[in-house]
Amino acid sequence: MGALTGLLMGVALVASLPDPAQEARARNLEREIRCVQCVAEPIAQSNAPIALDMRRILRDQIAAGASDNEVRAFFADRYGEGVLYRPRLNLQSWALWAFPFVLLAAIIGFLAQRAKARAAAPLTVEDAQAEAALAALETRQE
């Protein structure tokens, strides 16, 4: 394991990068970038000619020393933000990224509030009934 896909006689459609760490990064990025010609597929999954080209360009970028974010920016500049399956944090997408955390915090806040209110009024219904019965008994005795 760990050895790269060396080729004996076959021809790889997109040549793997010689550095395994770089190739692993390339494979991850391939799944994050949308094939611009397809309905809804990342370039990793598509056999469309443009997807092959994009996979090649992606590897060229990584080989030239670009970071993951630089590669993302490269594709977003050319094809628009819609090419990225992982929307970059910006004015368009902050609500998307904030949503789960805000919702979680809001619900936890609500539950904590309710628990506190319940703790402040420890009287359960049974307690209330018991107390009412006791009070009624006392009134009758008087």
Partner 1 sequence: MSVELGHFAAILAFALALAQAGLGIFAARRGAGAQAGVSRLAEAAFLLVAVAFASLAAAYIRSDFSVANVAANSHVAKPLLYKIAGTWGNHEGSMLLWCLIAAGFAACAAWFGGSMSPSLRARAIGVQGAVSALSLGYMLFTSNPFARLNPAPGSGADLNPLLQDPALAFHPPFLYLGYVGLSFAYSLALAGMIEGRTDAAWARQMRPWALAAWIFLSIGIGLGAYWAYYELGWGGWWFWDPVENASFMPWLAALALIHSASAAEKRGALAQSTVLLAITGFCLSILGTFLVRSGAITSVHAFALDPERGLVLLGLMAVAAIAGFGLYAWRSGNNDAPPAPFAIVSRESALIVNNLFLGVAAATVLFGTIYPLILEAVNGGQISVGPPYFNATFAPLMSMAFLALPVAPLLAWKRAALAPILQQLSVLAALCLAIGALTLAAFGAPIWTAIGAGLGAWLVLGTLYELLQRGNWRAGPGVFWRRLRARPASAWGMTLAHIGAGVFLLGATIETGMRLEATISLGIGESAAFYGRSVRLEAVEQGSGPNYALERGTVTIEKDQRVLAQLKPERRFYPVAGMPTSEVGIGNRGFSDLYVALGEPNAGADGVRRWTLRVYWNPLIDLVFWGVGLMALGGLVSLTERRLRIGAPAGRRKSAPASAPVAAE
Residues that bind partner 1 (CB under 8 A): 1-3, 5-14, 16, 27, 31-32, 34, 38-42, 45, 47, 80-87, 92-93, 95-97, 99-100, 103-104, 107-108, 111, 115, 118, 124-125
SS (H, E, C) 27-42: HHHHCCEECCCCCCCE
**Terminus-to-terminus CA distance in the chain, angstroms?**
90
To the nearest whole angstrom, how small is the minimum distance from the Cβ of residue 21 to partner 1?
11
* Structure tokens given for 118: 């319940």
Which residue number, 103 or 134, has a Cβ lying nearer to partner 1?
A: 103
To the nearest whole angstrom, how small is the minimum distance from the Cβ of residue 138 to partner 1?
17
Whether 55 contacts 43, CB under 8 Å:
yes
To the nearest whole angstrom, how small is the minimum distance from the Cβ of residue 50 to partner 1?
15
The DSSP element (H or E) to which 141 belongs, if any, is: helix 125-141
Which residue number, 12 or 64, has a Cβ lying nearer to partner 1?
A: 12
Q: Where are the alpha helices (DSSP H) in 15-93?
A: 20-30, 49-63, 68-79
Which residue number, 66 or 81, has a Cβ lying nearer to partner 1?
A: 81
Which residue number, 61 or 72, has a Cβ lying nearer to partner 1?
A: 72
Distance from the Cα of residue 4 to its chain's centroid? 29
To the nearest whole angstrom, how small is the minimum distance from the Cβ of residue 56 to partner 1?
12
Q: Bridge partners of 84?
A: 33
